[in-house]
Amino acid sequence: MAALMVGVPGASAAEYEVRGLPELGRCVQAAPGTGVYPSNTCITAGSPGTGSFEWIQVTAEEKRTFSGSGLESILTTVGHTTIRCTSASLSGEYTGPKNATVHIAFHGCTNSAGAQCQSEPTNKGEISTLPLEGELGFIKNQVKEGKTIIAVGFDLAPQTPFSDLIIFECGGVAESVRVDGSVIGRIKPLDKMTTVSNFIYKVTKTGKQAVEKFEGDPKDTLTTTFTSGIESSSGASTLTIKSETGHYSTPLEIKAKGN
């Protein structure tokens, strides 16, 4: 889809200096004599005033939103029951060039015994996350044999002051479940203005989360605690959301390379 380029009166490239990639923003047409970038991807900057485009970071005031949906979603925990949901829906709003508030609702959820799982007793089979904080980061940003290899991720963690991502119960109140930690999925596409925003949360063939950390950071994964009566036990968890497709409310770009 072609992106509509809109100029911002009085905005200069210096005002919107890139603070650290990856980040979300807009590559927009600049006023004559003020542009830095020669192309509408805003990857490689030229001399000030010689380009036709400039980069503007997303701000909270803009209220840039996104939404998406996925098919079967699976929460797998070592040594415990598996939670399967038939579909998922995701929504959020960017609060800056790297961060967003996020909410995910999982539908048609059951455990391995076939009991329905839900966050609220009145909404059977519906599991909703608590408020989440999403953050962009590099999964990979390397140069090998002269070729740049880049992958960007979106880390979902509890939003302050919450400590859990999800709380729900299965089979009435027979079993309560709390999911904490965080989970990273890949986000695409990169380095072009688009309304498309796809997240990839998946598991490897060996049963590990496909992305366990951002480059250079410590491991960042999920733990789930199951409580039945006075007995509780926890295990490492993974999250899969199959075939997620999403969109921004307006054309945006995840800038992952360039200057």
Per-domain boundaries in the chain? 62-252
| Reported pTM | 0.89
The bridge status of strand 183-188 relative to strand 127-128 is unpaired
Q: What percent of the chain has pLDDT over 90?
A: 83
Q: What is the mean pLDDT of residues 8-25?
A: 58
Strands (E), 78-164: 83-85, 87-94, 99-107, 117-118, 127-128, 132-144, 147-158
The pLDDT confidence band at residue 19, using thresholds 50, 70 and 90, is: low
Q: In what order do the strands lie in the sheet with 222-228?
A: 83-85, 73-77, 231-241, 222-228, 175-181, 166-170, 117-118
pLDDT at 15 over 80: no
Q: What is the mean pLDDT of residues 125-141?
A: 98
Q: 28: which strand partners?
A: 54
Q: What pLDDT score was predicted for residue 16?
A: 38
Cβ neighbours of 182 (radius 10 Å): 18
Q: What pLDDT score was predicted for residue 10?
A: 36
